[in-house]
Structure 1
């Protein structure tokens, strides 16, 4: 489902999505209230949600949808001038975000990644978002981090720095399947839903600080 108050953006997104034989747009919404109602009616797997919309903004609409049973996966669509909303979107539980100027192939790949239950962070935005909202003194280390093994802490740190599973595997000289196992254990032990929440947790807990070498 597509939610954006600009008709040209909605038309462009629909065109990109429906050129793929395995993807279908089940509806379009022009504001947040319409997005919530339409998503509840059509039950989409993924919602492409603009942040800045009238009546109810995308952030509030995402919060409402993610509080429902079996919620859709939500990808927030944005521009660089909404960093504060982006960080809030990650905390609410959006599965990721993309710039509106992202190329079509990146949008399609993002939809498939998120639909498969993974999370997506656009590296062009992630560092700026996190740096802006974690520029405060390091918090006290949460006791929950003690549940992780040294290797799981390494994996969480690399995730927070934007590394993919393949990149983490190369850095740690292990197989990708092993990394996936470590990621799953990190999420389980810290009671986190997905990779996006893990990144937010790593920064907010002080495990990783903005500006640290990657």
Structure 2
């Protein structure tokens, strides 16, 4: 039996909101439970409906998407935030990740990429658009974000390969297809890699790769 993923959509453009809602409602497993035209409404709708995922634009009036993301995360409402924004929002993308967004996609992505991204977030993954991921990796590293030592960096060749594909922005399903392994095996490799390099999620892993490179020693 398919589990329905409940979603709140936040965007200040009515046409975009309605278009996204129509796209999500055309599927069997995604349900739109609220539409918000600004960050303040987004937070209120998340408080009311406790959806699985909030799809958040960043540049909105009243309260922007960064502040709304921070409020949702800080209140521990059980909702994960997926940023959907334009590529020009570099500073806001960085700020949204710092505020607790678990992934981000760009508005010119293919519709199926957005649907898969929402599903990935609901599964506990962190979808990253490849272009936006490169932006994240190119920003100046701040001390203390992610740490690694020679002992924790001994990745196996397969773990290193999986991490490289994460940095490219591929989801677990796509990585499995690329490598000819199961999605469950991908998750196992990621869990092991995160433990080895001392990170908790895809974003931290991507930053670690940028700062430290990939050490394929080990298995």
Q: How does 1:100-119 map to 2 (within 5 A)?
A: 100-119=107-126
CA distance in 2 between counterparts of 1:2 and 1:137 reads 32
**CA apart distance, 1:15:** 0.5
Change (3 A) 1:163 1:120: closer
Greater CA drift, 174-183 or 57-66: 174-183
Check the 8 A contact 1:159/1:199 in 2, yes or no. Answer: yes
Superimposed CA distance per residue, residues 157-203 of structure 1 (whole angstroms, 9 cap, x where no aligned partner): 553344555648967x97764442121133346251x3233223443
Partner of 1:58: 65
Following superposition, the deviation at residue 2 of structure 1 comes to: 0.5
For residues 111 and 184 of structure 2, the distance between their equivalents in structure 1, rounded to whole angstroms, comes to 29
Higher helix fraction (1 or 2): 1
SS of match in other structure, 1:53:
coil
Aligned match of 1:89: 96
Structure-1 separation of matches of 2:204 and 2:58: 19
Is 1:77 equivalent to 2:84 in the alignment?
A: yes
* 1:212 alignment partner in structure 2: none
Structure 1: gaps spanning 5 or more residues: 210-214
Match of 1:9 among 2, 16, 40: 16
**Contact 2:12 2:60 survives alignment (8 Å):** yes
Whether 1:98 and 2:105 are equivalent positions in the alignment is: yes
CA distance in 2, matches of 1:23, 1:169: 24
CA distance in 2, matches of 1:158, 1:185: 15
Instruction: Note if contact 1:5-1:29 (Cα within 8 Å) is conserved in structure 2.
Output: yes
Change in 2 beyond 3 A, CA 1:161/1:168:
farther
Mapped to 2, the partners of 1:18 and 1:174 lie a distance apart of 31
Partner of 2:155: 150
How far, CA to CA, are the matches of 2:88 and 2:24 in structure 1?
A: 25
Contact 1:90 1:197 survives alignment (8 Å): no
Q: Structure 1 length as normaliser, TM-score? A: 0.79
Deviation for aligned residue 1:16: 0.4
**Deviation (angstroms), 1:103:** 2.3
CA RMSD of aligned residues (A): 3.1
1:180-199 to 2 correspondences below 5 Å = 180-188=187-195, 190-192=198-200, 194-199=201-206
